[in-house]
Amino acid sequence: MKVMQAKVTSKGQITLPKALRRSLGIMEGDQVEFSMEAPAQAKLRKLSAAGSSAGVLKCLAKDKPLSVEAMDQAIRESAGKRARAERNR
């Protein structure tokens, strides 16, 4: 088991080490889940998205239908963000 460390900020935030993010496939905007395994032990896992573009479209829809062009644009933007995040890792 490889041990990695991170520092907690005054706001309670941490930066996950790059090797851990890469290993779990975590990219900017991904959701993670923490669970308590035992006292003083926590488990971290990446949450699976329902679909690669489903979340993007849901936040854009806001109770009104989207055109196919708007959906295509949202998918392109999301794919571009993921590609840039992957290059920066």
CB-CB contact of 75 with 56 (8 Å): yes
Q: Please tell me the distance from the alpha carbon of residue 58 to that of residue 64, in angstroms, as a whole number.
A: 10
Per-residue pLDDT of the chain (89 residues; tens, 9 = 90+): 788 999 999 999 999 999 998 888 888 888 999 999 888 898 998 887 655 555 555 555 556 677 788 888 888 888 888 777 777 76
Q: pTM here?
A: 0.51
CATH of the domain at 37: 2.10.260.10
Query: What is the sign of the dihedral through the CA atoms of 77, 78, 84 and 85?
Result: positive
Q: Residue 87: its pLDDT value, please?
A: 75
Number of structural domains the chain divides into: 2
Q: Do 43 and 72 have their domain in common?
A: no
Same domain, 35 and 75: no
Host domain of residue 42: 1-48
Do 25 and 84 form a contact (C-beta atoms < 8 A)?
A: no
pLDDT at 73: 84
